[in-house]
Amino acid sequence: MSSAIETPVVQSAALYCPNCGGSIQLRGFAHTLTAICSFCGTVLDTSTPAFRILQTAQEWQQVQPPLPLGSRGKLDGVEWEVIGYQIRSMESEGETYAWGEYVLFNPYRGFRYLSEYNGHWNFIRTLSRIPEGAVSERRIRLDGQVFRKFQSAQAQTTYLLGEFPWRVQVGESVNFIDYIAPPLLLSGEITGSENEITWSLGRYITGAEIWKAFNAPNLPPATTGVFENQPTPRAGSVGGIWKAFGWSLIGLMLVMILMSLMLGGRTVFEQAYEFDPKAGGEPSFVTPDFELKPPTGNVEVQMKTDLENNWTYFNLALIGTDGHAFNFGHEVSFYEGQDSDGHWTEGGKSGAVTISSVPAGTYFLRVEPEGDKTKATLPVHYRLIVRRHVINWLFPILALILLAIPPIIHSFRGLGFERARWQESDYPQGSA
Amino acid sequence: MPIPLQNANCPGCGAPVLFRWEHSIQTTCPYCKSVLVRTDVDLKLIGRIGDLPLESSPLQIGSEGQYRGKPFHAIGRILYEYDQGIWNEWHILFSDNTSGWLADAQLEYDVSFLTASPGPLPGPNDVQLGMNFRWFDADYQITNLTRAHYRGVEGELPFQYWDKHVVLFADLRTTSGRFASVDYSEREPLLFTGEAMEFDDLKLRNLRAFAGWTI
């Protein structure tokens, strides 16, 4: 059926300012209750055909809002027109903070709002449902989600431009209370003698998104500081980075375990010797042959001594029957005693040298120990232990440290961000 | 589809008057704006309405929509004015011949139905903001008390309603978007219950056109 009465297209009303005669085009049709003459700043009651002057402005200056009145843009798939702009301010700890609020209009879907402070924006709509919990509480819920109380203050309107679907004048104040669950901002505006609360829900949005949607001129206001419901940058990815770190840790450990299981740290030669530095003669000797299995890899030579307040220098050569030779040396020294601080030790009784990239083959060690011939020391007893494919924990540990840097930096940045956010709150973190 | 119940003529101007719903008690003449009340025998002219700010809603008589899958169309409305603007109570007729109300308060929409109150309702002198009621397994809280001025009527209504003065309404909301309203315009308070609706969920058609806008 379609028995509708054909009604004419609703035209926007054009009227004249009763103060200066300037023309005023109403964008909000019959919904506009307050309009501000853009020529003289007079605040007009537009709820009746005869515009009533509510307030005249002295030394009126038209402020050009960054997002101009009359701009149209699509947010969440719906077209909105900017019809009103007000500047509101609040006092906190002796400081005055001022921010802008835009009224967005669509003749079918009603009103939305944009707020802007220091380049931080919120896309806001009033709610037809109420939060769970009393405003005296530090946490309340909306749609099951927990919101934390951030601040409560009085907002005073200091400048008006365009149209408003409510009655407003410069100088009017309302109390508000903000709860946050970034990127959401749940705000209650408390009005009237009976403290009626109007709840609204804002979602953090970047100036760049708005400028793109509204095809606005110039650049959006620069962003400074951290805003109350600004999402932590890469908020989703800090956890993700730690998860990636966890996985690489597990991967690395698996590789190390596999390596040590398959070829790790096999002792290929072990023998005990005695060395008396005072004995004279030629102390050098060669060990029996031992096999170093493929693949090419490291060899660790350990020297375990019974040195006591003495030193031994081991001149060593790992010599392959095919001609490969690796010359190296290592001093082992151990001292201990008593002083006013008690017992002390220096050095150690054992030492080890790792030679990397040793091809497989048959090898032996040439050993030439040197010692202190002057002291009346006892002969040194030592064991030589040769191990093939020793796992060097230094590299995996270094790798772990390097891998941990990005998640740690991200976490610190996130913490700094949260600290900056809550510094502006009436309810600083830590006392929560 | 509603049928014309009674082919009568407006006692004011003689134009034909059509009723779309058998239970309608009152209508307005679209030509001379007379308020007409149906009696057993004829139409009685009980008053006239002045010029109304009709463009305060995108709906009009004959606009169609859906609520929970049930099609409806608008057959009448009451306009109220309060200190924050005008709101419209659209009388909507469903295809099953029941009727309800679609409120459009500055383009915020609620659908509601006259409901037998599950408990005692506070009187007009006792009702207060913040009062809580447990109805139909939900917690309703009084969020607004509105003293509205009757502004006018248009089309078919299920009762005689015109020339009222100040009317008190208490609006109630829940955490899940359910809506209730207590109407203190009659001797006994009347309870209406329903829910808040998004414009796009109402699937409205045959709306008024606004210059420079598409739906």
Tens of pLDDT, residue by residue over B111-169, are: 999 999 999 999 999 999 999 999 999 999 999 999 998 888 999 999 887 766 788 99
pLDDT in tens, B158-169: 988 776 678 899
Interatomic CA distance for residues A329 and A327, integer angstroms: 7
Q: Lowest mean pLDDT: which of A29-43, A199-213, A268-282, A288-302?
A: A268-282
Residue A429, token pair as written in the block: 């973190």
Each residue's pLDDT tens digit, A118-144: 999 999 999 999 999 988 889 999 999
Residue A60 — pLDDT band, cuts 50, 70, 90?
A: confident
B51 alpha-carbon distance from chain centroid: 19
pLDDT of residue A1: 42
Closest CB to A129: pick one of B2, B174, B200: B174
- Judged by average pLDDT, the poorest of A255-269, A333-347, B18-32 is A255-269
Q: How far is A196 from chain B (nearest CA, A)?
A: 7
- Give how far Cα A431 sits from Cα of A139, A422, A426, B94, Å: 13, 11, 11, 55
Dist. CA A112–CA A103, nearest whole Å: 6
* C-alpha to C-alpha distance for A179 and A149, rounded to whole angstroms: 4
- B61 contacts chain A (CB < 8 A): yes
Give residues 164 to 193 of B whose Cβ lies within 8 Å of A. Answer: 173-177, 179
- Collapse the DSSP code of A335 into the 3-class scheme (helix H, G, I; strand E, B; otherwise coil) and give the result: strand
CB contact under 8 A, B56 and A30: yes
What burial letters (b/e) apply to B19-43, b meaning 16+ CB within 10 Å?
Answer: bbbeebbbbbbeebbbbbbbeeeeb
SS3 of A395-424: HHHHHHHHHHHHHHHHHHHHHHHHHHHHHC
Report yes or no: A29 and B210 within 8 Å, Cβ to Cβ: yes
pLDDT at A418: 86
**Which residue's structure tokens are 């005296």?**
A136
| Residue A320: pLDDT over 60 | yes
Closest-CA distance of chain A to residue B53, Å: 7
Which of B73, B83, B204 is the closest to A167 by Cβ?
A: B83
Q: How does pLDDT run across B77-99, given as a tens digit for each residue? A: 999 988 888 899 999 999 999 99
Do the beta carbons of residue B15 and residue B27 sit within 8 Å?
A: no
B63 to chain A, closest Cα gap in Å: 7
pLDDT grade for A260, boundaries at 50, 70 and 90: confident
Q: A25 CB near a chain B CB, below 8 Å? A: no
ipTM value > 0.85: yes
Q: In this structure, are residues B63 and B207 in contact, taking their beta carbons and an 8 Å threshold?
A: yes
Is the predicted pLDDT of residue A281 greater than 80, yes or no? no
Establish if A128 touches chain B: CB-CB under 8 angstroms.
yes
pLDDT at position A5 over 60: no
A129/B173 touch (CB, cutoff 8 Å), yes or no? yes
d(CA A151, CA A192): 20
| N-terminal to C-terminal alpha carbon distance within chain A | 60
CB within 8 Å: B107 and A10: no
Give B42→chain A minimum CA distance, Å.
23
Distance from CA of A132 to the nearest CA of B (A): 6
Once rounded to an integer, what is the mean pLDDT over residues A96-103? Answer: 96
Tokens 């001022």 belong to A98
**d(CA B192, nearest CA chain A) in Å:** 16
pLDDT at B5 (0 to 100): 59
Asked whether residue A221 carries a pLDDT value surpassing 80, the answer given is yes
Token pair in block for residue A367 = 């050993």
Instruction: State the best of A29, A79, A80, A128 to mutate against chain B, taking most chain B CBs within 10 Å.
Output: A128
User: A-contacting residues of B 123-152, CB under 8 Å?
Assistant: 128-129, 141, 143-145
- In this complex, the residue of A33, A132, A194 whose CB is nearest that of residue B129 is A194
Q: So what's the pLDDT on residue B22? A: 86
Distance CA B28, CA B11 (A): 11
Answer yes or no: do A128 and B196 touch at CB < 8 A: yes
Find the CB nearest A108 among B60, B145, B215.
B215
Q: What is the tens place of the pLDDT at every residue in B46-88?
A: 888 777 776 789 999 999 999 999 999 999 999 998 888 889 9
Q: Which two tokens stand for residue A99?
A: 């921010």
Concatenate the DSSP letters of all residues of B140-203 into one string.
EEEEEEEEEEEEEEEE-BSS---S--EEEEEEEE-TTSEEEEEE-SSSS-EEEEEEEE-GGGGT
Residues in chain A: 432
User: What does the pLDDT read at residue A4?
Assistant: 47
Structure tokens at B186: 């009659």
pLDDT of residue B6: 63
E strand residue ranges, A264-379? 266-275, 285-286, 290-292, 297-305, 310-320, 325-339, 342-347, 350-358, 361-371
Chain B touched by A76 (CB under 8 Å):
no
Nearest to B55 among A10, A110, A166 (CB): A10
Across A93-193, where does the E strand assignment appear? 95-106, 110-117, 120-126, 139-142, 145-164, 173-181, 184-191
CB A411 within 8 A of CB A237: no
Is residue B59 within 8 Å of B104, Cβ to Cβ? yes
Beta carbons of B141 and B6 less than 8 angstroms apart? no
The mean pLDDT value for A307-329 works out to 91
Residue B2 pLDDT class (50, 70, 90 cuts): very low
